[in-house]
Structure 1
Amino acid sequence: MEETQIIEKKKIGKLKNAVVVTGLPGIGLIGQVVGRYMVDELKAKKVASVISPHFPHQVFMTKKGGVRIIKNSIYHYKGKKRDILFLLGDIQAISSVGQYEVAGKLLDYFKNAGAKEIITVGGYSTGKIVAEKKRRVFAVATSDKLRKTLKKLGAVFGEARGSIVGAAGLFPVLGKIKGLDGSCLMGETHGSYVDAPAAKQIVQILAKYLGLKINLEKLDKRAKESQKILKKVQEEIKKTMEAETQEKTKDVSYIR
């Protein structure tokens, strides 16, 4: 397999004014926590799996003695006003080339399904611990209309600095090239632990923006579950990278 594949479990046809919400691992695991929580609370249906040579080359062993590949998954929720597609995953592509290839393939899939907009979710690390009620949701958007709407809902524009790394930044920008409106919501976080309070702030804004009613009581538990999963993924990736480094060292050990 030389490129990313989207394996459809269920045909979703042409959706109504659909919006895509991504929930992939990143700073504070905020995106992953937000995405998984919303999918579970809304009981969104899984419609496709995403596998890619740009994901780590390993599989997970299951409790029942089976194996499963590292992947991303796409879920569908039929809202009253518009359809919502969620992109969740174990990991993001591990190279720059991979990030662009995976994003391009998924954006084409979303657009063909009827998506008009994509919202990515991530964290904005300040290195400081801020009181829960004072945590801000920083945002960027590719259109004035989105900026005005999200600002009214509490998102803060123009104060975050630096760059947005990975899918959270690429999807909105590449989406604009393909004709999709895009935005990125970033929860203010210390950055070194799973930040459920920051995730809550984003879920609240998304619920208002998308016209959803979502109970937030179970969010702390979901955050702990996500932390365990990510730790396992990181340990496996570290082992793989260490093994590859050792092999390369052996190959060039004669050079001085």
Structure 2
Amino acid sequence: MAHSPSGAPAARLAHSLPTLLSVLSALAVWELYVRLSGISALVLPAPSRVAGQIVAHRELLWANTLPTLQATLTGFAFSVSVAFVLSLLIDFLPRLRRAVFPVLVISQTLPLVAIAPLVVLWFGFGLTPKILLVGLVTFFPMLVALVDGYESTEPDIEALLGSMGASRWSIFRRARFPSAMPYFFAGLRISITYAVVAAIFAEYVGARAGLGIVILNAKNSFRPDLMLAAVVISSLLTLALFGATALLHRMVLGWRFAGVAP
């Protein structure tokens, strides 16, 4: 039976209600603890104080959110492009996987706290080091997801296309690439959660503007309330980007959510 459109918002609200209650409960406990314990705001500011800092410094936070968002989106677009090109080469050249994958795995073991200062030193305080760091952190999950997705293609479909005279590229375009899409979006959702963190860390190491700079300046000024305000904005930014990828997933592969074949 099809669900009525009027029931969709109510269903989404019911689905989100446990999460909302958990978050509100945690904030309430935090607020009560700060008020009843008398702990200093320099040690642990209350959520109400953090919210007040967001309102009071909204122009500062907004002005520094835009550079972070730019670095995140640009670096993530670069990351997606690199992951797709590498996955394509690995799929068409199987020997390349054995040669490249160990190197890529090693790249993921490098500590960001050690690499970031070097990247800033080599490429300056502009946008380039942020793009590179976001790409370094986010491309590997998407690459692995794409490669695994290609390999999930039904052999019978490939055999059928091959028997009809389809070329290697045609088989990839008609069978292997569509099979990888659910895997790709899973990797995309994982990677986007790291993208904002990587951009902020790059700013924290060296930048002229961004939420990382706000956090660094607030730390140096002993302003944990303003620091947490910037952290809240970065979390909301991450949630918004995660929601955007989920929406894109539904738009591209909506038939999977409808439970019917495309």
TM-score of the alignment, normalized to the shorter chain, above 0.5: no
Q: More helix by proportion, 1 or 2?
A: 2
Q: Higher Cα Rg: structure 1 or 2?
A: 2
Q: TM-score, normalised by structure 1?
A: 0.26
TM-score (norm 2): 0.26
